[in-house]
Structure 1
């Protein structure tokens, strides 16, 4: 669905407390979480505006968001 919220807290509500704790104590995690949420917001805005960029660029943004999401999830779940 276009414009769907994929922010970190929305994607992993079961990790809400851990996310908040990590953001207070781990600068690298905080940086990556902020970058992830910024990418998500950028993608949502582009989708809601009719994706005024080429498909390759949109795919790259979504790919970057997915890789960052996987990395953050691994750190949250200690896998």
Structure 2
């Protein structure tokens, strides 16, 4: 298991301009990015034991992060 943060710009290399444009033009997309950053930070803090959580909670956070990433990917490919 990696404890490296999954920055959205690293997860979607070459899409920085598109991500920025969508964040500016689409409030829902901007909220998706914000939620992704929040859950990603929480997962990273749990993985590094800065803010330990129960294993099931950590798994659920990872699932939520993956779902947000999938939604972001769908929105990026739809443009």
TM-score w.r.t. the length of structure 2 is 0.90
**SS of 2:6's equivalent?**
coil
Unmatched tracts of structure 1, length 5 or more: none
What is the number of equivalent residue pairs in this alignment?
A: 79
Aligned to 1:69: 69
Counterpart check, 1:24 vs 2:17: no
Equivalent-residue separation in structure 1 for 2:10 and 2:62 (angstroms): 16
- Structure 2: state its 5+ residue gaps: none
Contact 2:45 2:52 in 1 (8 A): no
Runs of 4+ that moved beyond 3 A: none
| Residue 37, structure 1, aligned to residue 44, structure 2 | no
Give, in whole Å, the separation in 1 of the partners of 2:39 and 2:8.
11
Across the aligned residues of Structure 1 and Structure 2, the Cα RMSD in angstroms comes to: 1.7
2-structure distance, mates of 1:30, 1:51: 26
TM-score, structure 1 as length reference: 0.90
Q: How many angstroms does 1:3 deviate by?
A: 2.2
**More deviation in 42-51 or 18-27?**
42-51
Query: Aligned to 1:13, what secondary structure does the other structure show?
Result: coil
